[in-house]
Amino acid sequence: MSRGQRSWRRAGWSLLVAAALSCGATAQSIDEKAAMNGSEDYQRAVEAWLRGLEPKVIGGKPATAGQFPWQVSLDVSWISDLYRAHFCGGSIYADEWIVTAAHCVVGTRPQDIVVTAGTTDLTTAGVRRNVKEIVVIKGYVGARKGKDIALLRLFEKLPLGPQIQAIPLVEAEGFEDATRFTVTGWGATSQGGRPVRQLQFLENLPHVPLLQCNRPLSYDGAIKPDMVCAGFAQGGVDSCQGDSGGPLTVHTEQGERLAGIVSWGEGCGQPLKYGVYTRVAKYADWIRACVASSLTCERR
């Protein structure tokens, strides 16, 4: 080891120790420290685990096994309790590809995430897969700026069956005013609450036209054409923390289709503060290009 490397190491360690002392944890090795960094949702799960907090869709109902076979949980790979490890949702696009939100995985390394499929209950392991590659779309800067989409390529294919299925993307980019969506997730069932063990679903969630979602008392112009809003003006029914990355689906004659990705919102279930989702159809070509060749699609 050269002298330069050695002093870099020493500086690295003192930073680590300072960081460890400041958050009240025990000293960690350099690798462990890296494993604790990641997206905000990833860190939320890590911090709740460090603090020993009990982990946890507002107004939803528990899902039954196989009801949403495309839903997966993204988990912190080194936290063994699945419920505590959960930090985001995702949807199966193909046997080795998961669609999720960019904000869930940005800044996180593939080895720090495990994908769990085939279960509605975060006490039962289901089928677990390591991540080979994280593909965040080019130009992503933050959920509120749009482009909140990423793909995870799995090391091994998922065994598709009754409990594990891919969901096709919706074809149309626009939605009729009367469209009703379904959203699912293990996220908090109250604003500021913790994720839950049993997958929850919300159905008949009304589509909110962009004009309405952009009104001054809602998001006052912040909603971009690549976002979809859904919810009730009076609030009370919404996705929430921990649901991010998960599916917003629409029922068509051909079956259920992926219409959105849980992205952001001001609080959860607040009046006029609808849930904001990534408009997946806008990224259908991008998804197909990445699945065909992840190295040449437009990635960050």
Instruction: Give the range of 157-165, 200-208, 235-243, 251-259 binding ligand ARG by CB under 6 A.
Output: 235-243
Instruction: Give the range of 8-16, 64-72, 258-266, 289-297 binding ligand ARG by CB under 6 A.
Output: 258-266
Least distance (Å) from ligand ARG to the CB of residue 130? 22
Footprint of ligand ARG on 178-217 (CB under 6 A) = 187
Out of 39, 218, 244, 263, which one is annotated catalytic?
Answer: 244
Tell me if residue 91 is catalytic.
no
Opening angle at CA 114, ends 291 and 102, nearest 5: 55
Q: Which of 254, 248, 253 is nearest to 281 (CA)?
A: 248
d(CA 180, CA 249): 9
Which residue from 112, 148, 243, 256 is in contact with ligand ARG, where contact means CB under 6 A? 243
Instruction: Give the range of 64-72, 134-142, 232-240, 248-256 binding ligand ARG by CB under 6 A.
Output: 232-240
Residue 225 CA: distances (Å) to CA of 109, 141, 142, 161:
30, 16, 15, 35
Q: Which of 258, 273, 287 is nearest to 144 (CA)?
A: 273
Please tell me whether residue 239 binds ligand ARG under the rule CB under 6 A: yes
Out of 73, 75, 86, 103, which one is annotated catalytic?
Answer: 103
Would you list the DSSP string of 24-71? T-----HHHHHHH---HHHHHHHHHHHTT-----BT-EEPPTTSSTTE
DSSP-derived pairing of the beta strands 150-154 and 255-264:
unpaired
Residue with Cβ nearer ligand ARG (32 or 40): 40
Which residue from 71, 108, 241, 249 is in contact with ligand ARG, where contact means CB under 6 A? 241
Tell me if residue 148 is catalytic.
yes
Instruction: Give the range of 3-11, 66-74, 173-181, 241-249 binding ligand ARG by CB under 6 A.
Output: 241-249
Please tell me whether residue 126 binds ligand ARG under the rule CB under 6 A: no
What character string, x for contact with ligand ARG (CB under 6 A) and - otherwise, covers 133-172? ----------------------------------------
Please tell me whether residue 113 binds ligand ARG under the rule CB under 6 A: no
Tell me if residue 244 is catalytic.
yes
Q: Is the dihedral of CA 231, 66, 198, 148 positive or negative?
A: negative
Burial class for 20, CB neighbours closer than 10 Å (0-12, 13-18, 19+) = middle
Please tell me whether residue 100 binds ligand ARG under the rule CB under 6 A: no
Backbone angles phi, psi at 184, to 5 degrees: -135, 155
Please tell me whether residue 238 binds ligand ARG under the rule CB under 6 A: yes
Residue 26, C-beta contacts closer than 8 angstroms, at least 6 positions apart: 20
Out of 41, 112, 148, 226, which one is annotated catalytic?
Answer: 148
170 and 250 in contact (C-beta within 8 Å)?
A: yes
Please tell me whether residue 268 binds ligand ARG under the rule CB under 6 A: yes
Which residue from 55, 60, 247, 265 is in contact with ligand ARG, where contact means CB under 6 A? 265
Q: List residues binding ligand ARG (CB under 6 A).
A: 41, 187, 238-244, 262, 264-265, 268, 275
Which residues are catalytically annotated? 103, 148, 244
